[in-house]
Each structure stands twice: as structure tokens, then as C-alpha cells.
Structure 1
């Protein structure tokens, strides 16, 4: 079975929260690897770009009519996503460490893991 076929099959059976957790885990792992390697500034561009894209999708999804999450939770996710956008610029400029973004993603992963266990 090719990797493309495997990914297509997984996408049909994977629950949304599991997919979000997996994506957060992959991107957070990339940022952790970059932090461990001592990368700073523009050298962090690839993992930071992926993280920004992911959070942009979260923000867009939470702002979409018909989103099933409670309004307060959607508002919190949108607020966090906007913070990620601003803070990422500070990380690239060398004014802030990448660790804060890693910490936020790990907290989100913990929340998703608890939701999956409760479901």
C-alpha cells in the first residue's frame, strides 16, 4: 500500500479531534526539534510557518457558522490564534523564545486528549 493510499484511508476513519491532535503533535515536534538544535530567527521559518497555518485554520474554523463548539471556547481559540500570529513574529525577530508556542500547543494537545477520552 502506498503512503498516499494509507493517508487517504486514515482521513476517512480518523475523527476530527484525533486529526487535530496528530497535526498539533507533528508541528510541535518540529518546533521542539528546532529549539533543541538551537535554531533562532529566520532558521525557525519552516516550523513556525506550519504552526501559523494550522492556527489560521483553527481560527477560520471557529469563526465559521455552524461550528459545533461552544461560543466561549470558539472565542478563546480565536483569541489564542491571533496571539500566535503576533507572537510568531516576535520569535522570528529574536525577541521571544519559541518555547511559549510549544507550551501552548502542548496545552491544546492535552485538552484534545482529554476530550478524546471522554468521548
Structure 2
């Protein structure tokens, strides 16, 4: 019978979680690219912004928890990025911006870091 140590299990769980986060960000990027082509007032843009808002709301909620294991400086940086992402997405949905490229670029950088 093969037994995993608690530390190994946690390490694998963390790797799986980062992979899931990366996949979710990649899905967001795909939606944003489609929305960029369709235009800021398209159904594709609405879907992309909705997905991005849900994703970053989830990330921000997790980052704000005291039990989040990331160093404070990294958490603060990601929280700042998340707030910018949500504000930029809101500006697009209100017709005040077309900065899909900025959202895509930042998302790609975050995904690469995972």
C-alpha cells in the first residue's frame, strides 16, 4: 500500500489549484480575444466581462483571506492587479474603454506566473 505524506498531498493539491487557476485565466483570455474582435457592445463582450468579473472576484476573495499562503507583498500586488482588472472591465462595459488588449496582456502575464 502506497502512502502519501500530508506535505506531499498539500503540495500536489496546490499544484492542481494553480493549474486550475491558469486554465481559468486562459479561458478568460480566449473570451476576451473573441470579444475584442466582436466589439465592446457585443454579446461576446458581455460574456467575457461577466466571466472576468466572476474570476477576479473569486481571486480577490481568496487573496483577502488571512489563511492565504502567499507572502503579503505578492498578495498586495495581485489585489492591486485584480482591482485594476475589474475597473477596466467596468469601463469597457460602460463604453468608456476598448482596452481588451490590456486585460489580455495582464492575464497572460499572470497565467505565465502560475
Matched position secondary structure for 2:86: helix
Q: Quick one: distance in 1 between partners of 2:34 and 2:47? A: 12
- The CA RMSD over aligned residues, in Å, is 1.9
Larger radius of gyration: 2
**Which TM-score applies when normalising by structure 2?**
0.79
Cα deviation, residue 93, structure 1: 2.1
| Structure 2 residue aligned with 1:92 | 93
| Structure 2 residue aligned with 1:52 | 53
Deviation sequence 1:64-107 (CA, Å, 0-9, x none):
01111110010111111111121111111222221111111111
| Structure 2 residue aligned with 1:31 | 32
| Structure 1 residue aligned with 2:5 | none
1:65 aligns with 2:62: no
Deviation sequence 1:12-37 (CA, Å, 0-9, x none):
8x71110000110111111112213x
Q: Quick one: distance in 1 between partners of 2:42 and 2:93? A: 6
Runs of 4+ that moved beyond 2 A: none
**Aligned partner of 1:110 among 103, 109, 112:** 112
| Structure 2 residue aligned with 1:82 | 83
Q: Which runs of 5+ in 2 are unaligned?
A: 1-12
Q: Which runs of 5+ in 1 are unaligned?
A: 1-11, 113-119
Count of aligned positions: 100
